[in-house]
Structure 1
Amino acid sequence: VEFSKTLADGKKKKRQKKTVRRDLLLLSSVNSVMADRARFGYRSTRGGVSGLGFEDAVMAGLAPDGGLLVPEAVPAPPEGFLRDWRDLSYQDLALNIFSLFVPEGEICRGDLRELIARSYAAFTHDPPTPLQTDALGEGTHVLELFHGPTLAFKDVALQFLGTLFEYFLERRNARHGSAGRGAEVMTVVNVTSLCGDGGALLLPISGKTDFVADVSVRRAGSAAIYGLRGKRNVSVFILHPRGRVSPVQEAQMTTLFDKNVHNLAIEGTFDDCQVRWRLCG
């Protein structure tokens, strides 16, 4: 009996030590994230929100007060960066620059490297944005931004943004699954036309989404589709006025068969599309 009691007490102490170690690790992780946010925080341009982490800023799109989310401070690059970075590949240069704005506690460097590689794999040129020197005469430099899947400069941003959406949603759902919560999904609604401003609204889907966020997009329907096509836990709906977009853009938007892409041609003008878009909100 005494031996059994001693054994039970020993197991209890081991469990207590494990609990203390786990709590210390959790506290260390929380402190690390809070320290990262102190260095990498994001705030609204209208002043209503501050101290957001990178993930929260990405998933929010716009701040609740309608402002844009920007870094609270511009991080300083390391000393000698012009010398040390000048011969880096596009992907390695992007990694170093993104690392100034994305804390290690939110996306580890290895994951960030993989996200960058995945985002620009669809570009038809290496590097994805080549710099042509003396293209228009001596001393001129031209940066080519048309090598993405839709030939639009917005591919440079939206290919990476779509990859971030998928990454954060998968990570959140892994946490939700362990906590017994339902899957979190995202729906993007975009209005586009040949000219004028468009908008994209991220909407909840009947009890499965825990957040509502919105972002603004200008003439980026096809780029938004290609940035989000095939992304897990993301659906995209594009509204455009029938016959009022360019033939190339219409072909790009209406000839994809990914299950998460839905294109809606609206009879009327771009303003009619905007009305329907606002009704979604």
Structure 2
Amino acid sequence: MRYVSTRSDAPSRPFSDILLAGLAPDGGLYLPEEYPQVDAETLARWRSVLRDEGYAALAFEVVSMFVDDIPAEDLRGITARAYEPSKFLDPAIVPVSQLSDGMWLAHLSNGPSAAFKDMAMQLLGELFPYELARRGETITILGATSGDTGSSAEYALRGKPGVKVFMLSPAGRMSPFQQAQMFSIDDPAIVNLAVEGVFDDCQDLVKEINADAAFKLKHRIGAVNSINWARLMAQVVYYFAAWLQVSDGGPVSFCVPSGNFGNIAAGHIAREMGLPIDRLILATNENNVLEEFFRTGVYRVRGSAETLATSSPSMDISKASNFERFIFDLLGRDADRVRQLFSQELPANGCFDLSGTPEFAAQAERFGFVAGASSHADRLAEIRRVHEADGYTVDPHTADGVHVARGLAGASPVIVLETALPVKFAETIVEALGSQPDRPARFDGIEDLPRHVTQIPADADAVRAAIEAAG
């Protein structure tokens, strides 16, 4: 299995190279040359694997379809360590439950940082040190977070040999709990930088540093954001896990709260592999750039001033970096057209229009995407509704998903991907229910710990200086 950039016809590269590289040299994103295929026989076998051997064994089966330059037994050990049941609140890793209205929830928030990002970061936390040890190298991880990626990455990578982490977050835009999770980590190899701006500014800084070839080479810059293919590869696994638990062989739909398009891009890949998925229902909050595209064919990026601070803050994003991967597939993998759309960070007006193209006209049938948006009032109403009907508390992002799924569900069963435990967004839960959400004991007192964070302007030189200062 080899990988190509969405922006060029340059020679393909093996998995272990793109794992460490993150972003392609031309600024594009890596994807497999072609998606591996599964059939009914494979799915039946994987159903037995999940039931008899557990999530880690299923992860090995799926991941091994994308990785052929790591020996099978080594890869099996990597997935076993990543998804060791003792790391998770539920030994099933990704259990599912059905709400009283028939909708399903896939619980992805049982990991160390209580967010779905753990499902991928725990795998990266094993892949990076393995590959670095094979090469005798080190890596400097540069990431951006709107709230959950940062803590998941830092929890997965702290203490790993040969790894330093610099994490950019939008100053004052995360929930108090999210800030405490990240900034309370006391490790010289973990550096938190609070950027004066929004998440999109943080993400732009990561891309700018990655485009500086000399600096990237000098400091061996790598990525944990979902621009890194390995993130999406790991996330593909839980689509199979959820389908295997809910479906008797027929199609299901997935509703996915999405800001940066990585979570739902993994669903797109699973569908392209042959997993029977009817609809991929994309749910956004008031920052509805993606919903607008799937409704109109127009992709209109908002600037910082137009990117709203909402009660589902992890989706307060107006530049969805993984969207380029879908556009690559939508346009028949035409790298020239993709490069024209994305390589200049979009035209001056921050917009492209595919509404009149045959590709967009056929996308819903060909790729299954539909989309909807949610508001603060919708979130509060869904949190109350689910709590009253089922005695279960969903976080605000999952509430966005439940709300949108109610309006766009078709005939197939719908699985909403849960994104985080509600404790991460206690203020909104209190507003909706009048009581504090449950808190796992491992997070007691986290807000009272000393903080380790430096505030910087939204300037690439400030990021370079922080990396240089750390040696």
**Alignment TM-score, normalising by the size of structure 1:** 0.65
Deviation at 1:81, TM superposition (A): 1.1
CA contact (8 A) 1:129 1:144 kept: yes
Change (3 A) 1:136 1:111: farther
Change (3 A) 1:90 1:192: closer
Q: Does 1:111 align with 2:74?
A: yes
Q: Does 1:190 align with 2:143?
A: yes
Deviation at 1:149, TM superposition (A): 1.1
Q: Does 1:135 align with 2:99?
A: yes
Deviation at 1:76, TM superposition (A): 2.4
Change (3 A) 1:277 1:146: farther
Deviation at 1:238, TM superposition (A): 2.1
Deviation at 1:231, TM superposition (A): 1.0
Q: Does 1:275 align with 2:452?
A: no
Deviation at 1:146, TM superposition (A): 0.6
Change (3 A) 1:78 1:100: farther
Structure 2: 5+ residue runs without aligned partners?
202-455
Alignment deviations for residues 206-240 of structure 1 (CA, whole Å, 9 cap, x no partner): xxxxxxxxxxxxx5211221121111100012233
CA contact (8 A) 2:113 2:152 kept: yes
- Separation in 2, partners of 1:92, 1:277: 44
Change (3 A) 1:241 1:94: closer
CA contact (8 A) 1:242 1:265 kept: yes
The aligned counterpart of 1:168 is 131
The aligned counterpart of 1:232 is 161
- Separation in 1, partners of 2:172, 2:145: 12
Change (3 A) 1:109 1:251: same
Task: Map residues 1-281 of structure 1 onto 2, 5 A cutoff.
Answer: 40-77=1-38, 80-88=41-49, 89-103=54-68, 106-121=69-84, 122-132=87-97, 134-138=98-102, 140-173=103-136, 184-193=137-146, 220-265=149-194, 268-270=196-198, 271=201, 273-276=457-460, 279-280=463-464
Which letter maps to 1:63? A
- Counterpart secondary structure, 1:262: strand
Moved more, 241-250 or 154-163: 241-250
Which letter maps to 1:234? V
CA RMSD of aligned residues (A): 2.3
Change (3 A) 1:193 1:78: closer
- Separation in 2, partners of 1:115, 1:100: 15
Change (3 A) 1:141 1:53: same
CA contact (8 A) 1:49 1:63 kept: no
- Counterpart secondary structure, 2:58: helix
What percentage of aligned pairs have identical amino acids? 41
Which letter maps to 2:70? I
- Separation in 2, partners of 1:167, 1:66: 26
Alignment deviations for residues 117-151 of structure 1 (CA, whole Å, 9 cap, x no partner): 2112322221211122x32433x322111111111
Structure 1: 5+ residue runs without aligned partners?
1-39, 174-183, 195-218
- Counterpart secondary structure, 1:86: helix
- Counterpart secondary structure, 2:13: coil
CA contact (8 A) 1:190 1:237 kept: yes
- Separation in 1, partners of 2:146, 2:115: 14
Change (3 A) 1:93 1:85: same
- Separation in 1, partners of 2:99, 2:3: 38
Deviation at 1:241, TM superposition (A): 4.5
Which letter maps to 1:191? A
Higher-Rg structure is 1
The aligned counterpart of 1:215 is none
User: Of the two structures, which has the highest relative contact order with CA contacts closer than 8 Å and spacing of 6 or more?
Assistant: 2
CA contact (8 A) 2:56 2:82 kept: no
Q: Give the count of matched residue pairs.
A: 203
Alignment deviations for residues 137-196 of structure 1 (CA, whole Å, 9 cap, x no partner): 33x3221111111111111111111211111001101xxxxxxxxxx21111233345xx
